[in-house]
Amino acid sequence: MTSTAPDVRPEPPHSPDDRSLTEFGYRQELHRSLNRYASFAAGFSFISVLTTVFQFFAFGYAFGGPVFFWTWPAVLIGQLLVAACFAELAARYPISGAIYQWSSRLSTQTFGWFAGWIMVIGQIVVVAAAALALQMVMPAIWSGFQLVGGDPTPTSATGAANAAVLGVILLVLTTVVNLLDNRVLSVVNRVGVTAEIIGAILIVVLLLTHSERSPGITFHTAEGSTDLLGALLVGSFMAAYVMIGFDSAGEMSEETHHPRRTAPRTILTALGAAGLLGGLLVLAGLLAAPSLTDGRLGVEGLSYVLTSSLGDGLGRFLLADVVVAITVATLAIQTSACRMLFSMARDGQLPFAGRLAKVNARTGMPTAPAVVVGLLAAALLLLNFASPEAFLAIGTTCIVMLYLAYAMVTGPLLVRRLKGTFASDGTDETGKPLFSLGRWGVPVNALALLYGLFMTVNLAWPRAAVYDPAGGHWYFQWFTVLFLLVTVVLGVLYRLMRSRRVRSAAEPARALADPAQLPPQ
C-alpha cells in the first residue's frame, strides 16, 4: 500500500528506530522515549485488570453465578490467539494507528480505513466506559464522593448520574496529561501500572487468606438458573471487556526504542500478565465473599468483598489503589485513541486532518486528538443522566467495536497467509529474526478470527434481560447494534463525500491536460 501521508520528504534517519519508520514513508515526529517496561505499561494499563474487574465483576456474577469464573480462561485463550497474530504484525509494521495501518496494508486502503474508523470510535467509547468505573469504588471509599443523590449503585438514577460527574472530572485530568510531554505520560503510566500490579497481587493474597469456601464453588451456577450456556455467554462479558487493548504496545511503536523487537513481546506479556492476575482476582473474590446469596455480590461486586472481608481501613486503602488503576487506564486508552486519530489524519483520511496530524515539536504530542477524544468521551458520559442502562450499553458497545476491528485485521491476515503472500521472515533492529508463528500461523490465525467473530455476535446480541431489564427502553436493548450501524453509515457518507471532493479537485487538472474536456465558450 502506498501511503498518502507525508507531503514532506522524510528527514534523514538518525537511528535504526527512525529508519524503520522512514521506510514506510513517514518522518519521525513523535518523541521516541519509551523503553520495554514503558511499552509493557501501555498495553497493561489499557487492559487494567483492577479497573475492569471491579467495574464488571458484579454484572458477571449476577448473570452467571460462581461458574462465570470459567469464562475467564476461555476468553484469555481466545485473546492470546489474537495477540499472537498482532505480535507478528507489530514486528513488521511498527507504526502508530496499528489496527488501521495493519488492516490497510494487509487488504485495501478502504477496508483498512473502516477498520481504523470503527477502532477509533470504539476507543473513544472505551475511554468513557473506563471513566465510569470510578463509581464502583470512590463512593465505597468515602460517601462524600457521591456528589449526586444518595444511592451509589451504578444501576440507580443517582449512581449513574454521579458516575458521569466523576468521569468528566477524570477526563479533564487525563486530557491535560495527554497534552504534556510524552516523558511525563510515560512516568505516570509506569508508576500507575507498578502500583496496580502490586495492589492486585496484595488483594489476591489477602482475599485468599480470608477464603470462606473452596475453589469447587466455581462449578456452581447462579441460584435459580436453568440456562447454563446462556449464563456463561452473558457472564463472558466481563472477561471480554477486561482483555482488550493489548495492541496499545503497537500503537506506541513510533515512541518506542527498538519497536520491531519490543512491541511483539510486550503485547503478549501485557495480556499474559493481565490474564493471570485477573483470573486470580476473580477467583479470590468468589472464595472470600462473605455471602454468595445475599444479593450484594451481584450489585456491589468486589468493593463489597474488600471492605467486608478485610475491614474498612485496609479495604478502603486497597480501593484507593483501584482508583489509581482506573485513572491510569483511562489515560492509556485516551492516548491510544489519540495515536489512532493522529495516524489516520497523517494519511489525510479524516476531516480536519491537518490539525489532527499536527505534533507539538516541544512535547512530541499530537494535541488536537487529545482534546477531541476527551470531549467526545465526555459527551458519551452524558447518556448516564438519561438512564442508568447507559452504563452497561456504553461498556458493551466499546467491546463489540474493538472485537470487530480486531477481526478486520485477523481476517485479511488469514487471507494473505492462505495465498502465501504474508512475509514471515525479516530481522529486527538488533539483527535477530522477527517474531513469527511459523507453521502455526494458519491454525492460530483461523482460530483467532473465528473466536473474534463469535464474541462480536455474542456481545452485540440484543438480549432484553441484559440491556433493558426494566423494559420500555428498546433503544438500549438495540444500542450496540444501532451504534455500530450509525458508525458504519457515517463512515460511508464521509468516504463518498471525500471521493467526490477528490474527483472535483482533479477535474481542472484533467481539463488543462486535454482541451477537449473544457466546457464550450
User: Angle 71-92/98-106 helices, nearest 10 degrees?
Assistant: 70
Alpha-carbon span 514 to 492, nearest angstrom: 32
Using alpha carbons, list the distances in angstroms from residue 131 to 127, 142, 241, 333, 471. Answer: 6, 18, 14, 10, 26
For residues 314 and 320, give the distance between their C-alpha atoms in angstroms, rounded to a whole number: 10
Indicate the burial class of 340 (C-beta count within 10 angstroms; 0-12, 13-18, 19 or more): buried
* Alpha carbons 439 and 420: distance in angstroms, whole number: 12
pLDDT at position 505, please?
66
Provide the pLDDT confidence category of residue 387 given band limits of 50, 70 and 90.
Answer: confident
Query: Would you call 521 helix, strand, or coil by DSSP?
Result: coil
- Residues 229, 287: Cα–Cα separation, whole Å: 23
7: pLDDT strictly greater than 50: no
Among 83-92, 150-159, 214-223, 404-413, the range scoring the smallest mean pLDDT is 150-159
**What was the pLDDT predicted at 224?**
61
Q: What is the pLDDT of residues 261-310, one digit of tens each?
A: 999 999 999 999 999 999 999 999 999 999 988 888 888 888 889 888 88
Cα separation, 269 vs 273, whole angstroms: 6
pLDDT band with cut points at 50, 70 and 90 for residue 48: confident
Give the confidence band of 239 by pLDDT, cuts at 50, 70, 90: very high
Per-residue pLDDT, 16: 63
pLDDT of 344 above 90: yes
Q: What is the spatial distance between Cα 133 and Cα 176, in angstroms, rounded to a whole number?
A: 20
Name the grid cell of 40.
Answer: 509493557
Q: Is the pLDDT of residue 518 over 70?
A: no
pLDDT of residue 329: 93
CA torsion angle 383 384 387 392 (round to 10): 100
Of 486, 443, 412, residue with least CA distance to 112: 412
pLDDT band at residue 507 under the 50/70/90 scheme: low
Of 141-145, 437-441, 502-506, give the lowest mean pLDDT range. 502-506
**Residues contacting 180, CB < 8 A, separation 6+:** 363, 365
| DSSP letters spanning 325-353 | HHHHHHHHHHHHHHHHHHHHHHTT-STTH
Best CA proximity match to 388, nearest among 476, 464, 301 = 476
- What DSSP element (H or E) covers 200? helix 182-209
249, 254, 1: which is closest to 106 by C-alpha?
1
- Calculate mean pLDDT across residues 451-473: 85
DSSP 434-481: PP--GGGHHHHHHHHHHHHHHHHHHHHS--HHHH-TTSS-HHHHTHHH
Q: Look at residue 196 in the predicted model and tell me its pLDDT.
A: 93
At 11, is the pLDDT very low, low, confident or very high (cuts 50, 70, 90)?
A: very low
What does the pLDDT average to over 114-128? Answer: 94
- pLDDT of 3 over the 90 cut: no
Angle between the 259-288 and 182-209 helix axes, to the nearest 10 degrees? 30
> pLDDT confidence of 312, banded at 50, 70, 90?
confident
**Predicted pLDDT of residue 226:** 62
CA-nearest of 119, 92, 116 to 104 is: 116
What does pLDDT average to over the chain? 87
| pLDDT of residue 251 exceeding 70 | yes
Task: Answer whether 43's CB lies under 8 Å from 339's CB.
Answer: no
What per-residue confidence (pLDDT) applies to 2? Answer: 40
pTM, 2 dp? 0.89
**Separation of alpha carbons 41 and 391, rounded Å:** 27
- Whether residue 447 is predicted with pLDDT greater than 90 in this model: the reply is yes
In this prediction, residues 338-351 reach a mean pLDDT of: 95
Q: How far apart are CA 216 and CA 469, in angstroms?
A: 31
List, for residues 54-84, the tens digit of each pLDDT value. 888 988 898 888 999 999 999 999 999 999 9
**pLDDT for residue 331:** 94
pLDDT value of position 19: 63
